[in-house]
Chain A
Amino acid sequence: MKVVWNGGHPDEGSMHAWLDGEIDADDAALLDAHVRTCADCTTAVAEARGLVAGASRVVGMLDDAPPAHIRPTGVRASDTSTAWRFLRVTPTRAAIAAVLLVAIGITLTRKQGAFDPVSPAPSEVASAAMDEPPPPRARDNLLDSAIARRIATEQPPRGVGAAPGLAVTVPVGGSAAGTVAQAPSADAATRVAAGRASLRAQAETLGAFAADRAVFSRSNGAAAPAAPGRDVVAAEAAERAVGNATNNPSAVNLLASRCMRLESTGTAAAAWGGEPLPVTLVFDATGRSARVFNGAGTATEASSVVLAATADSTVIRLRRIGYDGVLTVAGSGETRVGSMRSGQSTLALSQVVVTGGGAARADKRLALRGDSNAPGSAKPAAAQPAASPAIATRPSVPIAALFVSCPTG
């Protein structure tokens, strides 16, 4: 639209149109140039700008729902939230909601049926499913039913009932209709949000852990172990097994005369039995105990014993006066991951939990060492004292365990 000039100045309507972006580009440039040189017009534009903003604010106030105590019977508040407006209970809408709930339930049930608890991918899938918008068909149904309702000219009284099977009694008119319809939905929304946050947290934890481990693996030239989620679950299972697992002699043998370096993959500094990571466990020829070497390759006062070992897990207790803790390592191959709890204690014991085993490692060990195993020396893990209850309260530090060449010291 064009500027209307009145006595050499744009009229008020043109100023509003300019502020509304409705003036043609050429005229807008002219108006702009004029306003820059005309004090009166600058003032007028400023006033118009205030009117535009103020009017918009006042109109927006109409959207706030008035409280029930000033609302006459039968008159509903204006409603800011479109979503809530759609959630007003009418028989049609309640029926649509019921169908949607069933559909969502079936969808989630099917997804859960395929859920692999040790893989992070299903978490992402489930999270993505929760993020999906409602099926567009729902809106179409709403439109169809709304129109059908009008055409039939038999519109039921507003807010009178719910879908068959829904034990919801809604008073005619009044704010209670909105309350009854919205409360369960709000609760469900809260729970869905909480569930979604939980799933995301899990995915992020696993993802970060896998990323840390990948970096670690690359830096050590080792192959990245597969299935990080499975490693963590196995490590936790091994930790739970402390004190009641039964040693598997062949698993114990796999540790014999090996050396395992423990490194933190987290950001926080970590120590094992007072020795800052990395430390190296040097297992004896039986695979049942180990000495602890510090990062410089020097033997420390800490030592360890194998508490439990099975085909896919091994539990080792680290001994040092004044410390306790739990170290959980899982996975297979030369590089493994896990978590560690450690700290000072009045107890004289610390624990190391190592899980996983592999024939290739055993072969390698035999090829390197050429020594014999002593399976007969392995004792049942259950015979060893269980971890201190205080250990469980220690912060968990992600770690990686790497079979390395043994320190020469």
Chain B
Amino acid sequence: MVTPERLNTLFRTYHQPLVRFLTRQVGDSDWAEEIAQETFVRAMKQDVIASERSWIFAVAMNLVRDEARKDARRRKRLELMTEEAKAESVIAPGPTSMERDEERAMARQAVDALAERDRDALLMREEGLSYEEIAAALDLSVGSVGTTLSRARRRLMEAYEALQAEAGGQREPA
């Protein structure tokens, strides 16, 4: 088992970025927090963790997938939230806050539209994981991380810009 001191260090170092990463992944900070806690529980049971950050993010990702499979209802909720956000923004556009809500909803949609691996790699990179760590967490070769990230970024921006164009078209006066 990991010593309590080591676990404390792990928690302090990785809890915040992990929860942010998970929240970005699943769009639910409560759920993200639970998964993060479960991740650290599992870390506690490990004898040795070679690459800590890779291990923690990989375990958290696996937990997300497991949970997602077990509880598809949550995903439904997220879809509902996205749809409601979209509907709301279309019905009542105008104020800055509403525009920001709309942008956020589009960002959510664009991120959700990414392939799972692309999304994982991108969100891990945004949390500062190195290519080596991302490769270890996602079981990729280091050389392919750049390609994965470039694809993820391009597709994300394409999706986001398409959503923006769509929203812009809907806002055009008749």
Contact between chains at B28 and A150 (CB < 8 Å): no
Q: Provide the bound-state CA to CA distance between A14 and B104, in Å.
A: 30
Which of chain B's residues have a CB closer than 8 A to the CB of A70? 81, 84-85, 88, 101, 105
In this assembly, does B156 line the interface, its C-beta being within 8 Å of a C-beta of chain A? yes
Interface residue? A369 (CB, 8 A): no
Indicate if A105 sits at the interface (CB-CB under 8 A). no
A345 to B97, alpha carbons, bound, how many Å? 56
Task: Verify if B165 is at the interface (C-beta below 8 Å from A).
Answer: no
Interface check B137, CB cutoff 8 A: no
How many residues of B are counted as interface, with CB atoms below 8 angstroms from the partner's CB atoms?
59
B8 touches A (CB below 8 Å):
yes
Which residues of A in the span 1-51 have a Cβ within 8 Å of any Cβ on B? 1-2, 4, 11-17, 20, 22, 48, 51
Contacting pair B104 A64 (CB below 8 A): yes
Question: Counting CB contacts under 8 A, is B138 at the interface?
Answer: no
Q: Which residues of B contact A56 (CB under 8 A)?
A: 126
Binds B, one of A78-86, A223-231, A287-295, A355-363: A78-86
Query: A151: nearest residue on chain B (CB-CB)?
Result: B41
In angstroms, Cα B40 to Cα A149, docked, is: 12
Identify the interface centre among A51, A52, A58, A71: most chain B CB within 10 Å of its CB: A58
- Interchain CB contact under 8 A, A146 and B40: yes
Q: Are A20 and B131 interface neighbours, CB within 8 A?
A: yes
Among B40, B108, B150, the one with the most A-chain Cβ atoms within 10 Å of its Cβ is B150
User: For A55, what are the chain B residues with a Cβ–Cβ distance below 8 Å?
Assistant: 122, 152-153, 156-157
B56-110 residues with Cβ-Cβ distance < 8 A to A are 77-78, 80-81, 84-85, 88, 97, 100-101, 103-105, 107-108, 110
List A contacts of B130 (CB < 8 A).
22
State whether A79 touches B23 (Cβ < 8 A). yes
Are B81 and A59 interface neighbours, CB within 8 A? no
* B157 with A58: CB separation less than 8 A: yes
In Å, the complex CA distance between A143 and B84 comes to: 36
**CB of B143 closer than 8 Å to a CB of A:** yes
Tell me, in angstroms, the Cα distance from A101 to B153 when the chains sit together: 46
CB–CB B142/A78 < 8 A: no
Consensus secondary structure, chain B interface: helix
B46 smallest CB distance to A (angstroms): 13
Q: How many positions in chain A have a CB within 8 Å of any CB in the partner chain?
A: 50
CB-contact partner of B144 in A12, A13, A64, under 8 A: A13
CB within 8 A of A51: which of B20, B40, B150?
Answer: B150
**Set A52, A61, A79, A139: member contacting B104, Cβ < 8 A:** A61
Given known A12-B150, A71-B81, contact A62–B27 (CB-CB < 8 A): yes
Which residues of chain A are within 8 angstroms of B104 by Cβ–Cβ distance? 61-62, 64, 66
Interfacial chain B residues near A14, Cβ < 8 Å: 146
B143 CB contact (under 8 Å) in A4, A67, A75: A4
B147–A12 contact, CB under 8 A? Answer: yes
Q: Mark B1-36, 1 if CB is under 8 A from A, else 0.
A: 000000110011000100110011001111011100
- With an 8 A cutoff between CB atoms, is A69 at the interface? yes
How distant is the Cα of A22 from the Cα of B149 in the complex, in angstroms?
A: 12
The answer to whether A63 and B24 have CB atoms under 8 Å apart is yes
Within 8 A of B (CB), among A63-98: 63-64, 66-67, 69-72, 74-79, 82, 85, 88
Checking A60, A88, A147 against B44 with a beta-carbon cut-off of 8 angstroms, the contacting residue is A147
Q: Does A158 sit at the interface, judged by CB under 8 A?
A: yes
Q: Which residues of A contact B97 (CB under 8 A)?
A: 67
Supposing A13-B146, A22-B131, A76-B28 touch, asked if A58 and B19 sit within 8 A by C-beta, the answer is: no
Q: Which residues of A contact B20 (CB under 8 A)?
A: 63, 82
Q: Select from chain A the residue with minimum beta-carbon distance to B100.
A: A64
Interchain CA distance A48-B130 in the complex, whole Å: 18
Answer whether residue A140 sits at the interface, using C-beta atoms and an 8 A cutoff.
Answer: yes
Contact of A67 among B30, B33, B101 (CB under 8 A): B101
B154 is an interface residue with CB less than 8 A from chain A: yes
Among A61, A64, A71, A74: residue with most chain B CB under 10 A:
A61
Closest to B144 in A: A13
B123–A66 contact, CB under 8 A? no
Minimum C-beta distance from A217 to chain B (A): 50
Complex CA gap A332/B76 in Å reads: 79
**7 tightest A-B contacts by CB?**
A13-B146, A13-B147, A17-B146, A61-B107, A55-B153, A16-B150, A51-B153
28 CB contacts below 8 A, A to B, read A1-B131, A1-B145, A20-B125, A22-B146, A55-B152, A58-B111, A58-B156, A58-B157, A58-B160, A59-B122, A60-B126, A61-B107, A62-B23, A62-B107, A66-B105, A70-B84, A70-B88, A70-B101, A72-B80, A72-B84, A75-B77, A78-B23, A79-B29, A82-B20, A140-B8, A143-B7, A146-B40, A150-B37
